Amino acid sequence: MVTQTRSLLMSSRLVKIFLVVSLVAMTRSVAADDSIDAFLEEVKELVSRETEFTSETDAKEWLARTNVALAEQNNKAATASFNYATNITNENRQKQVAAALAMNRWSNAHVIQAKKYLSNSNNFAPGSDVIRQLKIFVQGEPFVSKDAALSRKLEETSSKLQVVYTDAHLTKNGKTYYIEPELTEIMSTSRDYDELLWAWLGWRDAIGPRAKPLFTEVVTMLNLVSRQNGFSDAGEAWRVSNYEFDNIESTTHDLYEEVRPLYEQLHAYVRRKLIQKYPGRGIDPSGGIPAHLLGNMWGQQWDSIMDVVTPYPLVAADNVTGPLQSYTAKRMFKMAEDFFKSIGLDPMTSTFWNKSMIEKPRDRHVDCHGSATDFFKEGDYRIKMCSVRTGESLNTIHHEMGHIQYFMQYHRQPSIYRTGANAAFHEAVGDTITLSVKTPGHLRAMGLLKTEKPKGDSGSENDEYKKDINFLMKIALEKIAFLPFGYMIDRWRWEVFRGQVTPENYNRRWWELRRLYQGLIPPARRTQNDFDPAAKFHVSYFIPYIRYFFSFIGQFQFHEALCKAAGHTGPLQKCDIYRSKKAGDLLKSLLSLGGSKPWPESMEVITGQRKFKTDAILEYFKPLHDWLKRANAQEHVGWKNHH
Ligand code: ASP
Ligand code: SER
Ligand code: ZN
């Protein structure tokens, strides 16, 4: 009886498969790779519909197979993306889109199956890891869609928007200016108000109007897909898929409120220095700062204008740019690798060195924005970036290598868990390390800081204090200045996805938030035809951003914990964990978990705390905060229309 039912079932399956095969063969020219893959997926899904998706044992086997297949799928998608980003041609673009679509088909079929197991999981062992894997898998794929036409349109439109960003450039006197390295260099080194304005406006004009219709379409499609998958909108899909967080919006708000007093002090002090630097430009001493004067295209990190705002110019401030001029890109990467090795983490693999793109190639067009990719194949991890000889680049190298270290530490986990505890943890690894790298003690040991001879105030008992304040100012320009930016990008996008802000108000709302949180104003009139958000990489690439906000807070918690493990005593800002195996072991214990545990548990492993908290970052900057309050005694702290 059982046998007979089974064989009937088998034959009915075969009939269906045959039908699908003929149908697909008749209606589709099986040309592109993705349609073959898609076709196979349809067949597989059809076959698997006949199983019942009820037992935990089946689910386990299913997961074992799916984890293997997922690595294979990720490898294909990563390969196509990396090939495209490091050699932008139309052909590579087509391949990238095809690979993304194939991935979508595969994921969609498997998410459906995972959901079936989940809906039957009430009889699985309580707290079963099977349930967690299924959940993480489903959560990680909030934009899969059954609708092939919609997916294709979504991929193609996103891809076109990315092209607008990567192709954007300005020309002046026969010279071409891309965002990296040319415009980035102007923004960070030029002190000519009008030249800065030219670069700032030109970059936005080159992107905004072209990007806006594409961006708007992508928003609509992402919302559609998100709703099909049970989310209220794409913003919610992002929040859930990256965080396992309740109340991420109010948590962000509360954390930001805790650091706001420090930010406002920094802002007031920098504003005064800019008024002195650019007199007669109408900068309002109690208003917002024109957004193009902060050393960065987006006013997101201000450390490049350290020369303008150094608290004590007469005691030497750190500047690694000079010594870096004799470095090659490879040597900068080796320096980062050496730090990770010194705490007992792994060296980069030979594939890493052979296949990474560490400099801008001369023979082809590439996407320069720094990134790190896990290829889900033994030893295959790569970075792509266009490094130059600046401290900023050296940071990015450590940042990206932090991602690679995370990939390597969790590579033995099942594919579903080969991910960060949450997205912010992934962003925080390399940055945590740079908090040690940037200490004057470390830089001097590396030969990146000449033993400085104070130019004035020599021998004063305050010299050490002044150097500390200079140092903290430099780090604050990078880390504290970033926080409101890291917050407002997704504040704006959450509102966009929710439909609270409509396309005709996109740019107006953008600037409202820029002013409200960052205290920045546009240096020229903006209209609703402008679309300044798209001038930021992560907006045009639809990469969630709130991860960086959390990372910039969490990295100070991590730094504090690693310093404690390293036996550091004294002020947190002076800690350098170089060569501390104990710190390295603690870091490894976090990284090797990947996504296998809810992030508060991973957080607890390293810090003993289960939350993102501002105590460490506030303690780190306490001396500077006190100094700023005194320095700003006569200032209007804050800016008009603030609240
Ligand atoms: N992917 C990094 C960032 O976007 C690289 C960079 O800093 O450029 O987080
Ligand atoms: N790497 C991120 C960015 O470039 C955060 O610093 O925006
Ligand atoms: Zn990153």
Quote the mean pLDDT of the chain: 92
Ligand nearest to the CA of 548: 2
Task: Read off the DSSP letter of residue 505.
Answer: G
Q: Which amino acid is at 337?
A: E
Cα separations in angstroms, 150 against 41, 78, 104, 192, 590: 18, 22, 11, 47, 39
Alpha-carbon gap, residue 151 to 108, rounded angstroms: 11
Interatomic CA distance for residues 253 and 250, integer angstroms: 5
Residue 55 vs residue 27, higher pLDDT: 55
399 is in an annotated binding site: yes
DSSP SS3 for 176: strand
What digits encode the pLDDT tens for the residues 510-531?
A: 999 999 999 999 999 999 999 9
**What 8-state DSSP symbol labels residue 584?**
H
Average confidence (pLDDT) over 125-139: 94
pLDDT (average), residues 215-222: 98
| Rounded-to-integer distance, Cα 414 and Cα 410, Å | 9
The residue-averaged pLDDT of 47-71 equals: 88
In the predicted model, is pLDDT for residue 479 greater than 50? yes
Task: Work out the pLDDT band at 143, boundaries 50, 70, 90.
Answer: very high
- 372 has which bridge partners? 383
Dist. CA 483 → ligand 2 center (Å)? 11
Of 56, 185, 217, 538, the active-site residue reads 538
pLDDT at position 11: 46
Average of per-residue pLDDT across 498-505 = 98
Percent of the chain with pLDDT over 90: 86
- Asked if the model's pLDDT at residue 78 lies above 70, the reply is yes
Q: CA angle, corner 425, sides to 305 and 552, nearest 5?
A: 25
Average pLDDT, stretch 566-577?
97
> Whole-angstrom Cα distance, residue 535 to residue 494?
18
Rounded to whole angstroms, the maximal C-alpha distance in the chain is 97
Q: How far is CA 244 from the centre of its chain?
A: 17
Residue type, 166: T
Q: Is the pLDDT of residue 4 over 50?
A: no
Residue 520: enclosing H or E segment and its boundaries?
strand 520-521
Cα 139 from Cα 244, distance rounded (Å)? 9
- Got the DSSP string for 55-74? -HHHHHHHHHHHHHHHHHHH
Does residue 428 have a pLDDT over 60? Answer: yes
Residue 402 CB less than 6 A away from ligand 1: no
For 429-488, give the secondary structure using H, E and C.
HHHHHHHHHCCHHHHHHCCCCCCCCCCCCCCCCCHHHHHHHHHHHHHHHHHCCHHHHHHH
pLDDT computed for residue 10 by the predictor = 44
Model pLDDT for residues 344-362, shown as the tens digit of each residue: 999 999 999 999 999 999 9
Residues with CB under 5 A from ligand 3 (ion): 427
Predicted pLDDT at 549: 97
How confident is the model at residue 14, as a pLDDT? 47
Ligand 3 centre to CA of 399 (Å) is 6
SS3 613: coil
CA of 79 to the centre of ligand 2 (A): 23
Query: Exposed, middle or buried by CB within 10 Å (0-12, 13-18, 19+), for 384?
Result: buried
Angle, CA of 563, 569 and 571, to the nearest 5° = 85
C-alpha span between 196 and 190 (Å, rounded) = 7
Q: Using DSSP bridges, classify how beta strands 289-290 and 520-521 pair: parallel, antiparallel or unpaired.
A: parallel
84-99 mean pLDDT: 98
DSSP 300-352: S--GGGHHHH-S-TTS-----HHHHTT--HHHHHHHHHHHHHHTT-PPPPHHH
Give the pLDDT mean for 463-473: 95
454 pLDDT higher than 90: no
The pLDDT of residue 47 is above 70: no
Given a cut of 50, is residue 643 above it in pLDDT? no
User: Under a CB-based contact definition with an 8 Å cutoff, are residues 187 and 200 in contact?
Assistant: yes
Q: Does the annotation mark 625 as catalytic?
A: no
pLDDT of residue 5: 39
Q: What is the mean pLDDT of residues 103-126?
A: 95
State whether residue 173 is helix, strand or coil.
coil
Rounded distance between C-alpha atoms, residue 52 and residue 113, angstroms: 10
- Let me know the angle formed at the C-alpha of 316 by 310 and 321, rounded to the nearest 5 degrees: 85
From the CB of 426, is ligand 1 less than 6 Å away?
no
559 ligand 1 Cβ < 6 A: no
From the centroid of its chain, how far is CA 47?
39
Q: Is 478 known to be catalytic?
A: no
Q: Which amino acid is at 85?
A: A
290 forms beta bridges with 521
- Exposed e or buried b per residue across 258-296, where buried means at least 16 C-beta atoms within 10 angstroms of its C-beta: ebeebbbbbbbbbbbebbebbeeeebeeebbbbbbbbbb
DSSP 125: P
According to DSSP, residue 122 is labeled G
- pLDDT of amino acid 13: 47
Is 551 a pocket residue for ligand 1 (Cβ < 6 Å)?
no
Helix (H, G, I), strand (E, B) or coil at 170: strand
For ligand 3, the distance from its centroid to the CA atom of residue 370, given in whole angstroms, is: 8
CA atoms 356, 358, 362, 368: torsion sign = positive
* Alpha-carbon gap, residue 389 to 325, rounded angstroms: 6
Q: Where are the domains of the chain?
A: 152-320+480-542, 326-462+547-621
Q: Is the pLDDT of residue 545 over 90?
A: yes
| Secondary structure (DSSP) of 353-405 | HHH-B-S--SSS----S-EEEE-SSTT-EEEE----SSHHHHHHHHHHHHHHH
Please tell me the predicted confidence (pLDDT) of residue 3.
40
Does position 50 have pLDDT exceeding 70, yes or no?
no
Q: Is 559 annotated as a binding residue?
A: no
Distance set, CA 119 to CA 123, 130, 146 (Å): 10, 13, 19
What CATH number labels 152-320+480-542?
A: 1.10.1370.10
Closest residue by Cα to residue 202 from 169, 232, 248, 235: 169
| The two structure tokens encoding residue 301 | 């990190």
Nearest CA to ligand 1 atom 8: 370
* 381-384/371-374 β-pairing: antiparallel
Residue 399: CB within 6 Å of ligand 1? Answer: yes
151 CB within 6 A, ligand 1: no
The per-residue pLDDT for 22 is 56
Residue 253 annotated as lining a ligand binding site: no
Q: Is 536 in the pocket of ligand 1 (CB under 6 A)?
A: no
- Name the pLDDT band for 375 (thresholds 50, 70, 90): very high
> What is the spatial distance between Cα 538 and Cα 93, in angstroms, rounded to a whole number?
19
Q: Does the pLDDT at position 229 exceed 70?
A: yes
Q: Which residue has the higher pLDDT, 493 or 35?
A: 493
Compute the distance from residue 329 Cα to the ligand 3 centre, in Å: 19
Instruction: Please check if 625 is assigned to a binding site.
Output: no
Q: Band the pLDDT of 242: cuts 50, 70, 90.
A: confident
Whether the predicted pLDDT of 30 surpasses 90: no
User: Is residue 196 within 8 Å of 299, Cβ to Cβ?
Assistant: no
403 is in an annotated binding site: yes
Closest ligand 1 atom to Cα of 395: 7
285-301 pLDDT, tens digit per residue, is: 999 999 999 999 999 99
Instruction: Give this prediction's pTM.
Output: 0.92
Instruction: Assess whether pLDDT exceeds 70 at residue 237.
Output: yes
The pLDDT of 384-408, averaged and rounded, is 97
Residues contacting residue 423 through CB under 8 Å, at least 6 positions apart: 242, 243, 544, 547
